[in-house]
Amino acid sequence: MFQAILATASDAHGPNPLIPHTVEIILGGVFFLIFVAVIAKFVVPMFEKAYAERVAAIEGGMEDAEAAQKEAQEALAQYKAQLAEARHEAAGIREEAREQGAAIVAEMREQAQAEADRIVAAAHAQITAEHQQALAQLKTEVGGMATELAGRIVGESLADSDAQRRAVDRFLTELEGSAN
């Protein structure tokens, strides 16, 4: 029916400008097929090649990223292990330092105690020496006073040093015996 309408319209007014000639349709079809063949032969392979390269680059990039991530995880694990080892070593060093500090404190206490004992012993020795000196001086003074007093009581001089010494020694011996 459509062709009938077109045919009646073309007979009345001449050829229809909306309907192309058969030769144009055939030539258009042939050129379209040649164009499709040229695109399929030259352009599509280039697109395929570019697509394959892009896919390979993306996959290679993903593999590289995975490898880098794996290396980073290994480095992190190694870092954590080294950090744990360093912490353990630091704890050992601190413990050793505490032990050495305690040993040094004990040694210093021993040295201080030894020095204190030496000072006390020296003081006792000095006190004993001073005591002996004071006793000797006291004996001399008491002996002189006793001789003088005895000389006054007896009425004669006891200037003889041997006699004086014997009398003083006897007196002091008797005095010590009565004190004990």
Residue 152: predicted pLDDT: 72
Domain boundaries, the chain: 19-179
Residue 33: predicted pLDDT: 97
At 12, the amino acid letter reads A
Query: CA-CA distances (angstroms) from residue 112 to 89, 102, 108, 109?
Result: 34, 15, 6, 5
Measured between alpha carbons, how far is 76 from 157 in angstroms, rounded to an integer?
Answer: 111
pLDDT in tens, the chain (180 residues): 556 555 555 555 667 778 888 899 999 999 999 999 999 999 999 999 999 999 998 888 888 889 889 999 999 999 999 999 999 999 999 999 999 999 999 999 999 999 999 999 999 999 999 988 888 888 778 777 777 777 777 666 655 666 666 766 777 777 777 766
Residue 157: predicted pLDDT: 61
Residue 85: predicted pLDDT: 94
At residue 88, φ and ψ (nearest 5 deg) are: -65, -45
Residue 125: predicted pLDDT: 92
